[in-house]
Amino acid sequence: MILSLVIGVLVLLIIFFNDNEACVFNSAILAFTSLVGLLIILGDGNPKLVSRRNFRTELLVDVITRKPAVEGKEWRIITYNMNQYLFNHGQWHTPYYFYSDEDCYRYFLRLVEGVTPKKQTATSIGNSPVTAKPEDAIESASPSSRLNYRNFLLKAAEIERQAQENYWRRRHPNIDALLKKTE
């Protein structure tokens, strides 16, 4: 608001005192720096607050709890929860930071990108369904701990890997036979 006023006053100074070269030069420089400052303040609309560890931990715990499929209503629920989290903690001015569940899913994928979950056997994963059970909830975990964050990150990456496998197996039921032929 103030920068807009400053820019307006400087433009008026240039218009009314255009016969004084020093005034025009100084006003033009101040108008340019004010405009650059205004653009920096406005930014691209995405705050850097979303990179906070507590938000990321909350997202990971929600993914672990819900075990979302690659495509499904679980991501809509997670998106709603994350938007509410940002709004309730004053990190975003409306409860609509993520425009859609695809945006939230892409943010999650960037978060777990490069994280390699521990190699699991089929019995340890259990080919578990992609829906959450109440006993899967993690309520006693402390989200501020670095160790817990790393464990949450690994577990969420494992769940994503399993969801990807389940997704592709459903789309291409004969994929296992094709993979065995190539080995």
CA–CA distance from 166 to each of 13, 80, 135 (Å)? 66, 24, 22
Contact (CB, 8 A) for 30 and 6:
yes
180 falls within a domain: no
Q: Are residues 86 and 61 in the same domain?
A: yes
CA–CA distance from 41 to each of 11, 46, 110, 117, 119 (Å)? 20, 12, 25, 39, 45
Contact (CB, 8 A) for 24 and 18:
yes
Query: Structure pTM?
Result: 0.56
**Which residues, given as ranges, of the chain have pLDDT below 50?**
44-48, 121-143
Model pLDDT for residues 32-63, shown as the tens digit of each residue: 777 776 666 655 444 445 558 888 999 999 99
Q: Are residues 132 and 73 in the same domain?
A: yes
Q: Are residues 143 and 74 in the same domain?
A: yes
Q: Are residues 67 and 38 in the same domain?
A: no
Contact (CB, 8 A) for 98 and 87:
no
Q: Are residues 139 and 53 in the same domain?
A: yes
